[in-house]
Amino acid sequence: MGRWEPGAAGRLHAAAMELYVAQGYEQTTVAEIAERAGVTPRTFFRHFGDKREVLFAGSEQIQHTMRAALGTAPADVSPMDAVGLALDAAAEMVGSDVRHSQRRQAVIEANAELRERELIKMATLAGVLSEGLVERGLGEREARLVAEAGIAVFRAGFEDWVRDPAGRELGSVLRESLGQLRGLVG
Amino acid sequence: MGRWEPGAAGRLHAAAMELYVAQGYEQTTVAEIAERAGVTPRTFFRHFGDKREVLFAGSEQIQHTMRAALGTAPADVSPMDAVGLALDAAAEMVGSDVRHSQRRQAVIEANAELRERELIKMATLAGVLSEGLVERGLGEREARLVAEAGIAVFRAGFEDWVRDPAGRELGSVLRESLGQLRGLVG
């Protein structure tokens, strides 16, 4: 169950992922997820708003984690280096269970609605980073540029890691992506 | 009517924009748009799939324009400079009518569904640029990073220009954004 605590939420999450992978996201009902987890549909709805939310339950936590890392980055660190620290923090949070990430990614890539939801998640994350950079004194347009560049690094690196983990740490793949961007843009 | 040719499509487009701005996108029906343009709803549907498509009718043309600019960029130009040429081409195409852009932006920002559609448009555009960069010999991850950085420049610059055109050319605002990104990331 990876990053999930035991208990009903963890069992529901594991059951949902198994069903999404085995029979497809569209074909899976909340009733089936609840049954497989050994709970009632009512219990499902105590933990998740709908079957899509199971896949996005960690979104706010990533936002908070990256925002906090920006907030505690030393004041003399450059904006892009501060974003690098936020990426380290994100990697620490989501990089511990590559198998879970692979399965989640496969489910999302197979469904247009989920791909859109993932885009929104990433745009929201860019907005959060951007706010944090403005608080560090950056102008709005600059903040947005650096934040979106950081999210591009996150997405490209994350997808690369999911496709081919090969014993690599997510954090170092993200660092490598950031270095690539620097070489290509600068 | 800005970039629109006269004729039914142009009249429908102008009528739709007026109604979206005056009474809101949600509140506007295809029947009202057609009536204002002096045509039948059937004529509307010969030109647009639905009322949302009126706002996104130019998407494919921007894709083609940017892709073509990448394709004709000299081989010895760096990936980011090639993207800069694609941004110039995009600015040439969408930078001629700031009042239209301002109205379109206001309509989109007021509606969650339209904001999502705009995100998808931008992600698609990044995908198109990325393919073009791979064709120029760049690795996949590098291509994606440069493409997404380019789209970040486009979005940040475009929104800045729409908010405060002040006699500026879109092309020079995009160039300025690209320079900013270089200074911040490199």
Which residue from B171, B69, B74 is spatially nearest to B125, judged by alpha carbons? B69
- Amino acid A6: pLDDT: 65
Instruction: Name the residue facing B186 among A116, A151, A185 (closest C-beta).
Output: A185
Q: Which of A119, A155, A185 sits opposite B181 (nearest CB)?
A: A185
ipTM, 2 dp = 0.86
Name every residue whose Cβ is closer than 8 Å to that of residue A179 and which is 6 or more positions away in sequence.
none
- Give the confidence band of A2 by pLDDT, cuts at 50, 70, 90: very low
Instruction: Collect all residues with Cβ–Cβ distance below 8 Å to A183 and sequence separation of at least 6.
Output: none
- Chain A residues with CB-CB distance to B80 below 8 A: 184-185
Q: Measured between beta carbons, which residues in chain A are less than 8 angstroms from residue B130? A: none
Measured between CB atoms, which of A141, A151, A177 is closest to B156? A141
CA of B157: which chain A residue's CA is closest? A141
Q: Which helix (H) or strand (E) holds A49?
A: none
Q: How far apart are CA A170 and CA A153, in angstroms?
A: 12
pLDDT tens column, A43-54: 999 999 999 999
Q: How far apart are CA B51 and CA B61, in angstroms?
A: 19
Contact A148 B144 (CB under 8 A): no
Is the per-residue pLDDT at A186 higher than 80? no
Tokens of A181: 């961007």
Task: State the Cα–Cα distance between residues A59 and A179, nearest whole angstrom.
Answer: 25
Q: Supply the pLDDT for residue A116.
A: 92
B64 Cα to chain A: minimum distance (Å): 22
Say if residue A143 is exposed, middle or buried (CB neighbours under 10 Å; 0-12, 13-18, 19+).
buried
Nearest CB partner across the interface for B119, out of A78, A120, A185: A120
Instruction: Indicate the pLDDT class of residue B2, thresholds 50, 70 and 90.
Output: very low
Give B52's contacts in chain A (Cβ within 8 Å). none
- Chain A residue with CA closest to B161: the answer is A141
Average pLDDT rounded to a whole number, residues B90-106: 93
| B148/A141 Cβ within 8 A | no
* pLDDT recorded at residue B6: 64
Does the beta-carbon distance from A180 to B145 stay under 8 Å?
yes
Q: Which residues contact B104 (CB under 8 A, 6 or more apart)?
A: B17, B55
Q: Give residue-wise pLDDT tens across range B140-178.
A: 999 999 999 999 999 999 999 999 998 899 999 999 999
Q: Tens of pLDDT along B51-76? A: 999 999 889 999 999 999 999 999 99
Residues of chain B contacting residue A80, judged by C-beta atoms under 8 Å apart: 184-185
**Chain B: residue whose CA lies nearest to A116:** B120
Show the CA angle centred on residue A158, arms to residues A153 and A164, nearest 5°.
130
Q: What's the token pair of residue A81?
A: 């280096």
pLDDT at B1: 39
pLDDT of residue B186: 72
Minimal-distance CA residue of chain A relative to B78: A184
| CB pair distance less than 8 Å for A120 and B116 | yes
The alpha-carbon gap from A178 to the nearest alpha carbon of chain B, in Å, equals 9
Question: What is the per-residue pLDDT across A156-184, written as a single tens digit (0 to 9) for each?
Answer: 999 999 999 988 999 999 999 999 999 99
Mean pLDDT of the region A140-163:
94
With a cut of 90, say whether residue A23 has pLDDT above it.
Answer: yes
How wide is the angle at C-alpha A22 spanned by C-alphas A21 and A23, nearest 5°? 100
Distance separating alpha carbons of residues B151 and B146, to the nearest angstrom: 9
A152 neighbourhood in chain B, CB within 8 Å: 144-145, 148-149, 152
CB contact under 8 A, A185 and B146: yes
pLDDT of residue A5: 53
Rounded to whole angstroms, the maximal C-alpha distance in chain A is 55
Q: Is the pLDDT of residue A107 over 70?
A: yes
Predicted confidence (pLDDT) at residue A25 exceeds the cutoff of 70: yes
Q: What are the structure tokens assigned to B37, written together?
A: 């343009």
Mean confidence (pLDDT) of chain B? 93
